């Protein structure tokens, strides 16, 4: 079964015969990003897995994780895609909190370092570039400006194209939109 057929099958099982204009726009955008964008299928589905976990969308997790296992990712590598959402959820929440503070509060020594353990970021199983892509995508979804800027810079330093960075942000946006149509989340 092709990627397109797998996506169609997931959408059919999840949304049935829905045919609203919004649904059509969102699903066409999803298919384009996963089939015909600067992201290869593995990158698209790794990020889809991280987004699914961020949104607590178990059916999408199973879909993305199943596809990744079919492509040869180990259980540990697939789990890292899901867990990237967890570590970024922690960091996005913390750095978004810091963005609300005034300069005088931030000058206080108590706020000079996060003091949060993040060793998982140092040697990811899926490689630094893939992890940074998932961190960026989840940060876009979670709306953390500090993390979006940081991970965009890391991706640029790693040689990831602007087109790919833009497609990652668009993927986060489309998946968030689709989740809004899902009453079963």
Residue 3: in which H helix or E strand, if any? helix 3-15
Those residues with Cβ within 8 angstroms of residue 13's Cβ, 6 or more apart along the chain or in another chain = 59
For the record, the structure tokens of 86 come out as 């967890």
Of 133, 92, 143, 129, the closest CA to residue 114 belongs to 92
Out of 144, 148, 165, 171, which one is annotated catalytic?
144
Out of 134, 147, 148, 165, which one is annotated catalytic?
147
Cα–Cα dist 62/122, whole Å: 27
Of 165, 151, 142, 149, the closest CA to residue 94 belongs to 142
Does residue 144 carry a catalytic annotation?
A: yes
Does residue 147 carry a catalytic annotation?
A: yes
The SS3 of residue 2 is: coil
Q: Give me the helices (H) in 36-74, please.
A: 41-54, 58-70
Positions annotated as catalytic residues are: 144, 147
């Amino acid at each position: 079964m092709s990627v397109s057929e797998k996506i169609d099958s997931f959408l059919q099982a999840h949304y049935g015969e829905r045919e609203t204009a919004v649904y059509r726009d969102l699903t066409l955008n999803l298919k384009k990003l996963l089939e015909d964008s600067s992201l290869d299928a593995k990158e698209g589905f790794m990020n889809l897995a991280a987004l699914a976990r961020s949104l607590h969308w178990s059916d999408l997790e199973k879909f993305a994780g199943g596809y990744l296992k079919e492509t040869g990712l180990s259980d540990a590598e697939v789990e890292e895609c899901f867990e990237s959402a967890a570590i970024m959820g922690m960091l996005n929440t913390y750095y978004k909190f810091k963005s609300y503070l005034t300069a005088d509060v931030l000058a206080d020594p108590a706020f000079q370092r996060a003091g949060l353990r993040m060793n998982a970021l140092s040697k990811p199983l899926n490689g630094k570039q893939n992890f940074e892509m998932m961190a960026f995508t989840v940060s876009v979804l979670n709306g953390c400006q500090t993390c979006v800027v940081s991970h965009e810079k890391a991706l640029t330093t790693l040689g990831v194209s602007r087109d790919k960075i833009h497609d990652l942000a668009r993927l986060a946006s489309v998946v968030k939109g689709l989740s809004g149509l899902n009453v079963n989340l």
